[in-house]
Amino acid sequence: MKRVLITGAAGFLGSHLCDRFIKEGCYVIGMDNLITGDLKNIEHLFKLENFEFYHHDVTKFVHVPGQLDYILHFASPASPIDYLKIPIQTLKVGALGTHNLLGLAKEKNARILIASTSEVYGDPLVHPQSEDYYGNVSTIGPRGVYDEAKRFMESITMAYHRFHGLDTRIVRIFNTYGPRMRLNDGRVIPAFIGQALRGENLTIFGDGMQTRSFCYVDDQIEGIYRLLMSDYHLPVNIGNPDEITIKDFAEEIINLTNTDQKVVYKPLPQDDPLQRQPDISKAKEILDWEPQVSRQEGMRVTYQYFKSLPSEELYKKAHKDFSNHNKK
Ligand code: UDP
């Protein structure tokens, strides 16, 4: 039985990965410090014999007894309001956390896959973004704590690969959505759906002409799984190339939720990328992967999920007091 460590296990992607590896018959060790993750996402796994959970912060030394075959490093805040609230933790988990996990992978002779992001392309000057584009990132802007940590994460991973011969994989994840996203994480999909469910106007940042390309979570997990099982060490984009403006997307949400919400315009946050669309030629060629779920279908399922949450979730504040974490 393969033994797999998944960091960020209580988060959105981490919890779906736990499900996938359990389904594949693996022994799964989930790890999370629960700053942005939620145990509700994995509570259905606690009764299983082939799942265990460590409440641990990977920026501290990581110890896991026994053999490990795979490590998937998915611990990180991943939404712009999280980076603003916990900037230092965001930098540390991408940089120090990755270093600890690479060390663990080396010790255990395990294959390690790290979760990078389309944010390494910053506000891109090349469209769509292919893996050979080096990016346009502000080191000192509000997103810098995430973007630069992820860029460092890629560099140190390649260094362990080249210097120590470690078996590494790097996925560049583009905007992904689906059940278990945090309703209050500030990202556009939960934000719009939450607003529609509360009967509030939808807030479009900027003029709404910025684009994003949304990938349904099942497609994303399949792409990550195939990459882990491949023998390819360089970064691979996984995302859905179906691009849409935020303005058109707001219209789609109004139709989907069957509400008569209006849209209101708010200032565009600093360094908000104006366009984003993955070039997935590499994933197609190397992994024989491409998305299967249309936005219409994926959004229908996601809306049902948010609608099924207890109504107090709709009014939960985005964050507890993080002042202690910021000091660490
Ligand atoms: N956005 C918006 N209204 C919101 C939340 C987000 O118009 O209430 C915009 C945001 O400015 C960005 C896009 O939607 O241009 C996607 O934002 P998200 O935070 O989901 O992801 P990211 O910017 O990291 O791709």
The whole-model pTM stands at: 0.96
> Is 173 close to ligand 1, i.e. is its CB under 6 Å away?
no
DSSP class of residue 35 equals S
Query: What single DSSP character describes residue 180?
Result: T
pLDDT band at 316 (very low <50, low <70, confident <90, very high): confident
The answer, yes or no, to whether any atom of ligand 1 lies below 6 A from the CB of 246, is yes
Q: Which pLDDT band, with edges at 50, 70 and 90, does 317 fall under?
A: confident
What CA–CA distances, in Å, run from 291 to 179, 284, 295, 303, 312?
A: 17, 10, 10, 19, 34
* AA letter at 294: S
What's residue 154's pLDDT?
98
23-27, 70-74, 107-111, 319-323: least confidently modelled range = 319-323
SS3 111: strand
Residue 126 has pLDDT above 70, yes or no: yes
Alpha carbons 183 and 190: distance in angstroms, whole number:
5
- Whether the predicted pLDDT of 191 surpasses 60: yes
Average pLDDT, the chain: 96
Confidence bin at 176 (pLDDT 50/70/90)? very high
Instruction: Report residue 28 as tokens.
Output: 């799964």
Q: What are phi and psi of 75, to 5 degrees?
A: -80, 120
Q: Please choose from 203, 205, 248, 271 the residue to mutate so as to test ligand 1's pocket, defined by most ligand atoms within 8 A of CB.
A: 205
**Pair 213, 275: CB distance under 8 Å:** no
Domains parsed from the chain with CATH numbers: 3-323 (3.40.50.720)
Cα dist. 278→161, 266, 311 in Å? Answer: 25, 26, 35
Whether residue 211 has its Cβ less than 6 Å from ligand 1: no
| Catalytic annotation present for 177 | no
pLDDT tens string 246-282: 999 999 999 999 998 899 999 999 999 999 999 999 9
Could you read off the pLDDT of 285-303 as tens digits, one per residue? Answer: 999 999 999 999 999 999 9
Out of 146, 160, 225, 303, which one is annotated catalytic? 146
**Orientation angle between helical segments 188-198 and 295-308, nearest 10 degrees:** 50
Q: Is the pLDDT of residue 140 over 70?
A: yes
> What is the gyration radius of the CA atoms in the chain, in angstroms?
19
- Which pLDDT tens digit goes with each residue over 53-96? 999 999 999 999 999 999 999 999 999 899 889 999 999 999 99
pLDDT tens column, 26-49: 999 999 999 999 999 999 999 999
